[in-house]
Structure 1
């Protein structure tokens, strides 16, 4: 069905992806079991650049569509394998049945085949997904598209000075991390993290403002009652994350029904 949805991704590319993916899935599962970090996007980029270079720019941007589709196929397989590993690990620690865990994973995957498209449709209908000035900017969509274009046409298609800026800030990030590692703790604690600094550039300034507000609240809480802050900060953070995530469902429903709030404050470029 994937070649029917995305014609530039031929059936033999899908077959090759399915043949290569199990080996990459094993690597990702092994890494996730050791570090608790799943990196499907890293393995997905292998399929993205490979298919982009093979298909090229045939049929008016076909290489971009094919490479992004192959990346999605690869990421779905690799990510599911790592999730299963994490489930087995949790089941082992809680003395649960491995068979029950596997059957539940199959049921969850089957449910996801229905729920995930419906959820995407709800967001796509209710919000302007991908709008650079909207709430859901989808920054990684732009990033992966640019990577696909880069895989097809090379560095020549990048904006002017883009590669120079990228290399310059890459070196700057290495220098900053080196400074953090070689300086004493009383100095290194004031050195910023390049990865944390990069997040607002992808997502937007509002993310940095939210992080700043949370940091200030936690800092004050830690000063007032350090023990309570250490004991309950995780629970407070979990509640905020869950509440914000669940609210997207009624927010989407209200948006679909065209029910607008009586007042709204929003910051956008002038």
Structure 2
């Protein structure tokens, strides 16, 4: 082995030591700053398309670039805590239902649903957020012990973030093989010659490639992030004053006006496509073609959807929404079946899981770095009791009974087990399907109450979604040897601040825009409300049930094939269409899916030509700047709209698809 590699490993070995600084003021402050940017970004995109990203990899990258301005560099463990804080802060728009549950409650119709629309005040929205913000955090420590330590599940996104951190900080890459999946082996100086696997990792870590990637991150990274952020922000601001910029009738005015086929050349959605990858954007685009190019015209011309195409109640968009719901539910349920079988049958019924009441032999951390179980027990109890009381205060007995909310929390804990395991194996947390399972259950125990159905489903989904996102962070920390207790503190702090940030941002958006409305359609709100109405009334649009059954059967087979291929490690598994991504193509108008497809194609061509190794992280840096640019600068548009500053020109908006211009 090269002497330079040997010296490098000896010099860097101390970075894996647990004595490195982790939970520091600068780490928490930076994480909160990045998390607030992600919070605004996720709320903005979630209200537009229903798609939210936890952005853990991007948080670690931006945190590293930001740390270049610090007097001393941050340690790898600090970076783990930083991105943990950022993710906990940035994902609250989905965890607390600001992109689905609350808009759905505002769509209630007194004549049809028996209750008037529910629009929460700022203080009521804070109370609701407090009710669901911490349950998932306290679920994380026991779930970590089971799925990360005992079962050693992969958690691909968390592992990828750990690998990025190892590149940025020039430390040995994390060992993610089945044999050493617990994380880094303790690297002692005298063991270098005796460990071939570590020697190979050392040679990989010190190749010119990794050195070049680190140079990109430290020298070119900040510049790339800045110009991509500025370009996306400038385009967003220009689209505010000239709305046609984001509503180009690429396929002609007729298709734009009558069938909603416009193109949004948004750099942020192109960046999302790059981050999602070509296989996911391809699934989404296939859904777009089937939903908007085939089913929408069929439903309209057959007279099954007699309203305007874009009308969620009577038009083709509302008609294909049901087909999308069927696809999402069956895809999530089929994907969960292997997990349910393993948990309920193999581990519980057959008793194959060994009892472990003490400190696990696989646990690499000492007790002082773990979250004490008494904290977990008291925290779970307090979060359930406090959450039940707050939900009762916000919605009252007519909204949902306290006992029903309590059951919702219990269901959230059970569903979290399945969701986290599915996430660990497939990198997909089927929260949409889990939420629908909860709605089905509450339609049985509290029939006819639409408000209770939506709220209880939201409570259960919040726990599963938050526990899943935090589990990815804990996997990253496990591989980098960061303290689980430090990450736990970061999760609590991030979730606490995000309650205020998310509620304030949502309140401002509600004052400036109609939600749901032309600019922010909140498609997942219609999914929640539609299922609640179906479970109460049992009425579907004409001939919609036939198509729902057909697509459900088709995607049950597709999901089974994809799950089997993924568990076998088949390389073609990623090219089997994702049911959830396919269904998102139905929910969103074509403009968003087209932009994401462009990003996916760019990602595919770039890494095909450059190779994954040579391609490095340049493209991810640029994509992150694109996404953050529009999300952050949209706040400026929000302020302008609040103060009555309108568009400069509606030229080219004759198709009626421009936000801010009269139809």
- Report the TM-score when normalising by structure 2: 0.34
- Report what 1:60 is aligned to: none
Query: Of 581, 595, 607, which residue of structure 2 is paired with 1:210?
Result: 595
Contact 1:43 1:75 in 2 (8 A): yes
- 1:116 partnered with 2:502: yes
Structure 2 Cα separation of the partners of residues 195 and 102 of structure 1: 30
Unaligned runs of 5+ in 1: 58-62, 181-189
- 1:84 partnered with 2:475: no
3-state DSSP of counterpart to 2:399: coil
Query: Of 401, 421, 433, which residue of structure 2 is paired with 1:42?
Result: 433
1:193, CA displacement in angstroms? 7.3
CA deviations on 1:168-222 (whole Å, 9 max, x unpaired) are 3445657889999xxxxxxxxx998776554343111211332344456567767
Query: Of 391, 394, 419, which residue of structure 2 is paired with 1:2?
Result: 391
Contact 1:53 1:152 in 2 (8 A): no
CA 1:15–1:174: 2 relative to 1, 3 Å: closer
CA deviations on 1:138-187 (whole Å, 9 max, x unpaired) are 11111111111122222xx111111012223445657889999xxxxxxx
Query: Of 251, 255, 261, which residue of structure 1 is paired with 2:637?
Result: 251
Q: Which moved more, 1:171-180 or 1:115-124?
A: 171-180
Structure 1 Cα separation of the partners of residues 440 and 558 of structure 2: 30
1:137-152 aligned within 5 A: 137-152=521-536
After superposition, the CA RMSD in angstroms is 3.4
CA 1:36–1:178: 2 relative to 1, 3 Å: closer
CA deviations on 1:96-139 (whole Å, 9 max, x unpaired) are 121111111111121122222112112212222212xx121111
Higher-helix-fraction structure: 1
- 1:51 partnered with 2:439: no
1:191-202 aligned within 5 A: 198-202=583-587
Q: Which has the higher contact order (CA 8 A, sep 6+)?
A: 2
Contact 2:606 2:615 in 1 (8 A): no
CA 1:252–1:158: 2 relative to 1, 3 Å: same
Unaligned runs of 5+ in 2: 1-389, 563-574, 658-662
- Report the TM-score when normalising by structure 1: 0.78
Compare CA radii of gyration and give the structure with the larger one.
2
- Report what 2:174 is aligned to: none
Query: Of 473, 481, 491, which residue of structure 2 is paired with 1:105?
Result: 491
1:10, CA displacement in angstroms? 0.6
- Report what 1:268 is aligned to: 656
Structure 1 Cα separation of the partners of residues 600 and 424 of structure 2: 31
Structure 2 Cα separation of the partners of residues 42 and 198 of structure 1: 12
Contact 1:25 1:81 in 2 (8 A): yes
CA 1:42–1:167: 2 relative to 1, 3 Å: closer
CA 1:44–1:201: 2 relative to 1, 3 Å: closer
CA deviations on 1:54-86 (whole Å, 9 max, x unpaired) are 3222xxxxx111110011111112222222222
